[in-house]
Structures are given as structure tokens and as C-alpha cells.
Amino acid sequence: MAIIYTNNSSGAIRRLRAKKPTKSYQLALQKHIKWLKSKGFNVNDNGKIILTKRKQVMSLGNSNDSKPVNQPEPSNYMGNGKQISWKEKQERLEISKQYSIAPAYNKGPYMVVAKEDLKTAGRKV
């Protein structure tokens, strides 16, 4: 049995392609183009936005004509911007050594468990 390629030649598709836009569609398209232009877009007559090329940003490569780019300084701040002293870091480390991570009752998620309860974690005791 041979395969017949229709190449979009069925009657329904041909009729849909041959259909011209209605007056209400043309009116809606004109309103939409007017709205896009009021928002500052460059639009052609079909309602498609015409994109402009962006300006090139200076590369960070080692070329002779490029100027150095200002980069932020590294800091000792955490995510909220609070600086933690070395002593406080050591205290947190000692506290975290008292706990471990284990699966919660043979399920998918994990939970924080005290070291002394580690053998009975996930069991009814």
C-alpha cells in the first residue's frame, strides 16, 4: 500500500486559505495597531512588531580598546545583608552538629532529627 501525501490539498484547507479577512477583523486589527503604536512599538501594516537591533555591550575580553568593567566587591554578608561574626558562625556550627537529616517516616521528604533520636526516626516507639 502506498502513502499518499496530500500536502494540505484537502478541500477544507484550501477553502480556509482562500478566505479573506472580514471587515470586523480588519477593524479590530487597525485598533490593535493604533494601541501598539500608542505604547511606543514600531508596527507594520499587518500588525507585526518591527524589532530593532540592540546596541552591542562591551565584552569582558582582553582587548586593547576595552575599558575595565566595574564589578561588585565580594562581601561577607548573607542573603539578607546581615554580617555574621566568626564567633557566631562557630556557635551555629556547634548547634548544627547536634542534629542530622533523615527521611520522614519512609516517605520522600527529609526532616531534621536530633542525634539521640536518630535510631528511632521514622518508627513508632
Q: What's the pLDDT tens digit per position in 60-69?
A: 555 555 555 5
Cα–Cα distance measured from residue 10 to residue 8, given in angstroms and rounded to the nearest whole number: 6
Task: Give the pLDDT score at 41.
Answer: 87
Task: Give the pLDDT score at 67.
Answer: 57
To 5 degrees, how large is the angle CA 8–CA 12–CA 17? Answer: 70
Is there a domain that residue 104 lies in? yes
Is there a domain that residue 79 lies in? no
Is there a domain that residue 77 lies in? no
Is there a domain that residue 30 lies in? yes
Model confidence at 110, in pLDDT bands (50, 70, 90)? confident
CA nearest to 52, candidates 40, 63, 62 = 40
Is there a domain that residue 29 lies in? yes
- Decide which of 124 and 26 is more confident: 26
Is there a domain that residue 81 lies in? no
Is there a domain that residue 123 lies in? yes
Q: What is the pLDDT of residues 77-108, one digit of tens each?
A: 556 667 778 888 899 889 989 988 887 776 77
Give me the domain span that covers residue 113. 96-125
Q: How many structural domains are present in the chain?
A: 2
Is there a domain that residue 80 lies in? no
